Amino acid sequence: MDSALSVVIPYCRRPELVQTIVEGLVPAVGEALFDIVVVECGPPDDATRSLLQNIPTKHSISWFMIDTPFNKSLAINVGVSETASDLLMLLDADVLVSRDFIDHALLTVADGRVCCLGEVTESLAPDRVRSAPGTIVLTRRDFIAVDGMNSNLKGWGFDDLDFLLRLRVGGVRIDRYGSGVHITHGDEVRDLLPGLTKWESDSLNRGRSHAGIIRGDIFGTYAQDVAEWGSGVVP
C-alpha cells in the first residue's frame, strides 16, 4: 500500500484552516509525501485560499469549490475523488493532530483497520475533553466499499458517526486513538438547518442514519455526488 497520505478537508468560512495545516497537519506528517485537498462549499473565501497558496511547504494543496450550502459529507466525497493516494485522511478544518496520532493511524491502517481520533481538547479550555470521530484515516478501498459519506445527512451532526457505523456494519474494524486540539469557536459558525439547534440537527441526522441501517442500507452517496459535483478545481 502507498504510505503517502492524501488529506481531504471540508471547508466553509473557517480561516483557522491555515492554523490547522501549518501548526497541526504539516508537522504531524513530517517528511512523508502527501497532498491536501480542500473542498469549499458556499461563497468563495479568496483570502484564506490566498494564504494557503503562500504556505512554505513542498506538499501539494488543491482547492475545489462547490456552489452549494455547506454539506460536510458532500465536500468529503468530492475531495476523495480528487486525491492522489490510496491512503486517505479525512480532517476537519478546525482540528490539530499530532505526530503520535499519524504514526499510530498508519500502523493501524496497515493492519487492515480504520483509525479515528479518540478525543479533542478545546484550545481555549484545555480541561474540556470530548470525542472526535471526524478525523479518520483509512484506505480508499474501505471508503469506496460503503460508497463514502452520506450527503443526505444535512446540517450539523452525526455525519462522521454514520460513516463509522456503516463501516463497522460492513465488517471493518475501527480503532479510536489519541488526542487532538479543537480550535474553539462558537455555534454561530456552525452550519445549522434553519430553525434548528445543533442538538436538534444532530438528532435528525441520527434518526435518518439509524433508519437506513435498520433497512440494511450501509451505502453513502459518493458515486452520486462525484457524478453531480466533481470536478470544481480552482486554479
Where do the structural domains in the chain lie, given as residue ranges? 5-229
Which cell numbers hold the place of 181? 486540539
Q: Which whole number is the average pLDDT over 5-20?
A: 87
> Please, are residues 186 and 122 in contact by the beta-carbon 8 Å criterion?
no
- Please state the three-class secondary structure of 153-213 as a single string: CCCCCCHHHHHHHHHHHCCCCEEEEEEEEECCCCHHHCCCCCCCCHHHHHHHHHHHHHHHH
Q: Among the listed ranges 84-93, 142-151, 225-234, which one has the minimum average pLDDT value?
A: 225-234
pLDDT interval class at 191 (50, 70, 90): low
Higher pLDDT, 16 or 6: 6
- Asked if the model's pLDDT at residue 43 lies above 60, the reply is yes
Report pLDDT for 235.
43
| pLDDT band for position 158 (cuts 50, 70, 90) | confident
Average pLDDT in the chain: 86
CATH topology classification for 5-229: Spore Coat Polysaccharide Biosynthesis Protein SpsA; Chain A (3.90.550)
Give the closest residue to 25 by CA, choosing from 108, 105, 121, 143: 105
- State the pLDDT at residue 192: 54
Radius of gyration of the chain (CA): 16
**pTM listed for this prediction:** 0.89
